[in-house]
Structure 1
Amino acid sequence: MVSLLDPVRLHADAAPRSVAIRGAREHISYEGLLESSLRFASILNAQGVAPGERVVLIAPSVPAYVVAYLGIQAAGCVVVPMNTMSTSEEVSYVLRDAQASLVIAWHEASAPARKAAAADGPPVVTLVHGMWEALPLAAPVDRDPDDTAAILYTSGTTGRPKGAELTVANILSAAQISVECSNGTPDDRIGTGLPLFHIFGQISVMMASLTTGSSLHLVAPFTPEAMIDAIRTHRLTIVAGVPTMWNAMLRSSKGEDGSGFGHIRLAVSGGAPLPAPVAQAFESRFGCELLEGYGLTETTSQGTFNGQGGIRKTGSAGRPVPRTAVEVRSETGSPLDPGEVGEVYISGPSVMKGYWRRPEATAQALVDGWLRTGDLGMVDQDGDLFIVDRLKDLIIRGGYNVYPGEVEEILYEHPHIVEAAVVGVPDEHYGQEVAAVIVLDRPAAVTGPEITAWARERMSAYKIPRLVRFVEALPKGPSGKILKRTIDTNRFRQPASQPEQAE
């Protein structure tokens, strides 16, 4: 029998006073984290929540989030993390779908949860730091490795969100894999501005840090200046983020001289493909490796990772992580040869149990132990994976396949382009036309026709973005990932004028 608290108990015995979690104004030792989590579990018992029941957790990346997350696990319950920006309608949907028995909501983000729970919903407990005063449980509830430990809802881009069921074994295995990929040790000082309710921050950072016995510094909310300050002040050795975070740090005046980063041995990028120009600029400015990984919520954030010190290839997501296999297959499910583009399949100990109460969706996604990712990719002769794009994002222009990620990669080489998103726009003649939504480093630095002309010199004719629109900012999700599907393609039917805020 196991528990997600097993790593914390191990380090609480071995190094009780070592810092486990550090926030902006407080820190918690491993000994304190274990005791606080067991006290929090008692609060759940007092609420009448039984092992196996679902508890929704809505909180930012603060130390109290970690206590509540582990407290839910200590009580033997299933944690259902949600975005702090969720509306009452979104919370209502998850409460009903997950059949939640309780909601834990951060005091500054509890209003939508209370509104959602008002109509025959579960009780809402307000989360504040230091609220765990109950007598602690004697020990965490023992779990079977195949018990569901967490349900994380997907973005719902192809319908209503589905809850990916992650088991105790999934999470413990994924955390251990992350430790092996980073060569983590208890001496590491890890820092992130990622939201812990997202799979990347929750597993590859938070749970991996606790598995290692290192300290985790939380920057919430993320700003490039706060992240740079944390790196310098706490002499962080590992930092984790998404491409938009590295881009923001590059453009912050606070990091212009690149000083104070010498103690970083590894920066980990995930959540979205890392544009090569951003990676190269970051490594040149700050003098540390920026390595890309690839994984999904359904694989508990695991998949592939670029090995340190080895030969790295521009645009590659690396090779399969330990105990994990990756294949690229055709539409019929047959493995493809190196260099051929198809759907990426993943198998291994971190692949989810299935979708909560969605047997048909589970059967479609899981095939003989392999997860169909919905991503397009290809593997080269050396076994390195290259993610081409989301299967749903593929643009077919006049019968030719256009992969938006490939076009975006080239656009990022333009000296005035800060961010870019390439989407398909309906076209009567070609079926779809290639369009680019672009953020510039300064207003009117370049025109749309100039972008098209510049691209014509660097890519095949059918890939060129002939429709260009400039905005002040691209829409992003809670992890900082650019949300292409929220871009209104109808706006391309009118000529672009002044820069505007994308919705």
Structure 2
Amino acid sequence: MPIQSRWTVPIPEQSLQKWVFGSSFGPLPDRVTFVDADNPDTRSLTFSEYRLLAKRVALGLQRAGLAQGDRVLMFSGNTLFFPAVFMGVLMAGGIFTGASPAFGSMEFSHQLINSGARFVIAGKRNVPVALDAMERNGIPKANLYTFDDALSSAGYISQLDIEHWSALLANPEEAERFDWVEPSDPRTSTCCLNYSSGTTGLAKGVEISHYAYIANGVACHFLEQQTPESRELLQRSKSLCFLPLYHAAGQTTFVANQPKLGVTTYIMPEYNFEKLLQHIQRFKITSLSAAPPIVLNIAKSPLSAKYDLSSVQDVTCGTAPLSREVADEAEQKLWPRGENFVRQGWGMTEITCAGLLWSTEDTQKSISVGEAVPNGQFKIMDGGREVTEPNKVGEIWYSGPTLMKGYWRNPKATAETIVEESGVRWIKTGDLAHVDRYAPGAKVFIVDRVKELIKVRGFQVSPAELEGVLLDRKDIVDVGVVGVLVNGEEVPRAYVVKGSPVSEMEIMKWLEGRVAKYKWLRGGVVFVDSIPRTLSGKILRRSLREMAKASDSKIKAKLS
């Protein structure tokens, strides 16, 4: 039998915007919801201003010709106004989709065409890529708007004859009277297409309904308020948004969940680690939602000691596995007296965001990613057999109300990923894990991705495990492990960012004393300046494998 969540909580059947704001016209508290972290004294939005700006976007999009179900593609980094554009698209009856601002022409063109976006709102630096893709695919230039952190086009000059996004905004008086579009069936009405990372092929649009998005928020809110202390902390909580808002993790947290809870969020336009530390100190940030590279920097960087991080009371790490060694180092920097620990979570774009999390009532320190969120369930599968014992590794199959409708216009990929059994839809996640016990409340421990395992003479080697061990060395700042072919056999190779002088042989010999022989780095150690990652923190192993193929040097392996 699957492992059910310990909790079942009701899910409102309404639009996401109604869940966040309550109504289109009712009074809202004037609490500060968003602050530009680089310009905190002059640039902020209250909760009521957030709703009004979103309504201005919505009415403007409708007047520009947006019909119900049309897609609007946001191609920009983080700004104070990003959340209002997201909500405005939904209020207009449209579907939001966001593209990474790091995309080149080919990647952006794929998402533009696959989503069938009718309108594009692009950051200034992204306009040339967007314009090129739109022209090549016959999409009118008039449907492209330049996006920045200004609400007025005063002083704005476009050499490309592109409208400033403020041209979309209806005036405040008209927007006050505007009533947003409420979907007829929130369970089937799509609110966003959040594209999967595409590290194993072309990115796929993940179709998320209003109902699924709200179910994600309801579950997170429930777990965040399980003790009187946690509820009190939320009332004075301050968060820092440096995760990309086009991505499911940043989007669900900062566009919907935290505004509804009344948390003040400081938005960083661009990620910079030292600025992050400065902001924590200046604004007394209490809560961090982070990816492993951020926690790694807190643990390893000497900059961490230069700033007062004592205001931080809660760190949740997701998007990729975090090793115990790195978590321990970061915790010593943040909480030297051992009063707290970094909590990990697990989720997927395909399940809106969160699937396994910690409840605030649970204070037992662990490297686990938590347990099934309210209304969720999972099982561990080994081939076609369900694992019903603790500590045995298998693939997570997950089910719950947050599950995607499917991959946008890709029934083949949907059928390969979603399995229906006895009326229950399960997603085969590709993540390998084990549980500490086989019962509700079981803690889950992620091992690795199915497709990332290295096969060494029939043995399975987890790159994440080796990365965790290697990061225990003080002279290694970051590392990525992949399988490479040497003399026709697959063996592990480590790409290492070093923080102090160390040789390849030193690292290899050090590891050999800590892991089984088949896990040794017989593919060698290669020193690099940085490990390629997605903006959400996942290692781009495909890039490392391509780096290995392109390398002129041939590393001899000791296969005996």
Which bin holds the TM-score, normalised by the shorter protein?
over 0.9
Does 2:186 match 1:145?
A: yes
Shift in CA distance, 408/336, structure 1 to aligned 2, threshold 3 Å: farther
Contact 1:225 / 1:252 at 8 angstroms: preserved in 2?
no
Shift in CA distance, 463/336, structure 1 to aligned 2, threshold 3 Å: farther
Partner of 1:179: helix, strand, or coil? helix
Partner of 1:231: helix, strand, or coil? helix
Task: Name the structure 2 match of 1:16.
Answer: 29
Matched to 2:298, the amino acid is M
Contact 1:163 / 1:355 at 8 angstroms: preserved in 2?
yes
Task: Name the structure 1 match of 2:496.
Answer: 438
Does 2:127 match 1:110?
A: yes
Partner of 2:16: helix, strand, or coil? coil
Task: Name the structure 2 match of 1:121.
Answer: 139
Contact 2:105 / 2:133 at 8 angstroms: preserved in 1?
yes
Partner of 1:472: helix, strand, or coil? coil
Contact 1:404 / 1:422 at 8 angstroms: preserved in 2?
yes
Unaligned runs of 5+ in 1: 497-503
Does 2:248 match 1:199?
A: yes
Task: Name the structure 2 match of 1:392.
Answer: 451
Shift in CA distance, 252/469, structure 1 to aligned 2, threshold 3 Å: closer
Task: Name the structure 1 match of 2:155.
Answer: none
Partner of 1:220: helix, strand, or coil? coil
Q: Distance in 1 between matches of 2:62 and 2:88?
A: 11
Q: Distance in 2 between matches of 1:286 and 1:313?
A: 15
CA offset at residue 38 of structure 1?
0.5
Q: Distance in 1 between matches of 2:550 and 2:389?
A: 40
Of stretches 171-180 and 307-316 in structure 1, the one that deviates more from structure 2 is: 307-316
Task: Name the structure 1 match of 2:278.
Answer: 229
Of stretches 92-101 and 32-41 in structure 1, the one that deviates more from structure 2 is: 92-101
Contact 1:21 / 1:218 at 8 angstroms: preserved in 2?
yes
Alignment of 1:461-480 (within 5 A): 461-466=517-522, 467-480=524-537
Q: Distance in 1 between matches of 2:192 and 2:342?
A: 29
Deviations 1:22-60 (A, max 9, x none): 113311011111111101111111210111111111121
Contact 1:20 / 1:216 at 8 angstroms: preserved in 2?
yes
Task: Name the structure 1 match of 2:162.
Answer: none
Task: Name the structure 1 match of 2:14.
Answer: 2
Task: Name the structure 2 match of 1:499.
Answer: none
Contact 1:306 / 1:312 at 8 angstroms: preserved in 2?
no
Task: Name the structure 2 match of 1:180.
Answer: 222
Q: Distance in 2 between matches of 1:492 and 1:107?
A: 36
CA offset at residue 254 of structure 1?
4.1
Of stretches 211-220 and 383-392 in structure 1, the one that deviates more from structure 2 is: 211-220
Matched to 2:345, the amino acid is G
Q: TM-score, normalised by structure 1?
A: 0.93
CA offset at residue 159 of structure 1?
2.5
Does 2:460 match 1:401?
A: yes
Task: Name the structure 1 match of 2:196.
Answer: 154
Task: Name the structure 1 match of 2:95.
Answer: 78
Q: Distance in 2 between matches of 1:237 and 1:341?
A: 35
Task: Name the structure 2 match of 1:500.
Answer: none
Unaligned runs of 5+ in 2: 1-12, 152-165, 226-230, 556-560
Q: Distance in 2 between matches of 1:22 and 1:88?
A: 32
Shift in CA distance, 253/468, structure 1 to aligned 2, threshold 3 Å: closer
Matched to 1:318, the amino acid is G
Shift in CA distance, 340/313, structure 1 to aligned 2, threshold 3 Å: farther
- Choose from 232, 256, 259 the match for 2:305: 256
CA offset at residue 455 of structure 1?
0.8
Contact 1:51 / 1:76 at 8 angstroms: preserved in 2?
yes
Matched to 1:450, the amino acid is E
Q: Distance in 2 between matches of 1:165 and 1:19?
A: 31
Task: Name the structure 2 match of 1:281.
Answer: 329
Does 2:427 match 1:371?
A: yes
- Choose from 38, 41, 49 the match for 1:32: 49
CA offset at residue 407 of structure 1?
1.2
CA offset at residue 330 of structure 1?
1.4
Deviations 1:308-360 (A, max 9, x none): 46354643212111211121101115344322211111111111111011112
Task: Name the structure 2 match of 1:494.
Answer: 553
Contact 1:174 / 1:204 at 8 angstroms: preserved in 2?
no
Does 2:283 match 1:243?
A: no
Q: Distance in 1 between matches of 2:363 and 2:22?
A: 36
Task: Name the structure 1 match of 2:368.
Answer: 316
CA offset at residue 264 of structure 1?
2.2
Q: Distance in 1 between matches of 2:503 and 2:539?
A: 22
Partner of 1:268: helix, strand, or coil? strand
CA offset at residue 187 of structure 1?
3.2
Q: TM-score, normalised by structure 2?
A: 0.84
- Choose from 197, 206, 211 the match for 1:169: 211
Task: Name the structure 2 match of 1:483.
Answer: 540
Matched to 1:46, the amino acid is R
Matched to 1:188, the amino acid is S
Contact 1:224 / 1:252 at 8 angstroms: preserved in 2?
no
Shift in CA distance, 252/437, structure 1 to aligned 2, threshold 3 Å: closer
Shift in CA distance, 494/108, structure 1 to aligned 2, threshold 3 Å: closer
- Choose from 487, 493, 507 the match for 1:451: 507
Matched to 2:86, the amino acid is Y
Deviations 1:397-445 (A, max 9, x none): 011111111111111111211111111112345x311111111112xx2
Matched to 1:121, the amino acid is I
Does 2:400 match 1:348?
A: yes
Shift in CA distance, 290/477, structure 1 to aligned 2, threshold 3 Å: same
Contact 2:285 / 2:312 at 8 angstroms: preserved in 1?
yes
Q: Distance in 1 between matches of 2:121 and 2:269?
A: 19
Task: Name the structure 2 match of 1:417.
Answer: 476
Q: Distance in 2 between matches of 1:2 and 1:106?
A: 31
Contact 1:434 / 1:465 at 8 angstroms: preserved in 2?
yes
Q: Distance in 2 between matches of 1:379 and 1:241?
A: 24
Provide the aligned C-alpha RMSD in A.
2.2
Contact 2:76 / 2:100 at 8 angstroms: preserved in 1?
yes
Contact 2:59 / 2:178 at 8 angstroms: preserved in 1?
no
Task: Name the structure 2 match of 1:501.
Answer: none
Q: Distance in 2 between matches of 1:193 and 1:423?
A: 28
Q: Distance in 2 between matches of 1:14 and 1:249?
A: 41
Partner of 1:256: helix, strand, or coil? helix
Q: Distance in 2 between matches of 1:336 and 1:394?
A: 23
Contact 1:88 / 1:116 at 8 angstroms: preserved in 2?
yes
CA offset at residue 192 of structure 1?
2.3
Shift in CA distance, 304/468, structure 1 to aligned 2, threshold 3 Å: same
CA offset at residue 389 of structure 1?
0.8
Contact 2:72 / 2:120 at 8 angstroms: preserved in 1?
yes
Alignment of 1:87-106 (within 5 A): 87-106=104-123
Shift in CA distance, 483/56, structure 1 to aligned 2, threshold 3 Å: same
Contact 1:376 / 1:391 at 8 angstroms: preserved in 2?
yes
Partner of 1:344: helix, strand, or coil? strand
- Choose from 352, 362, 387 the match for 2:414: 362
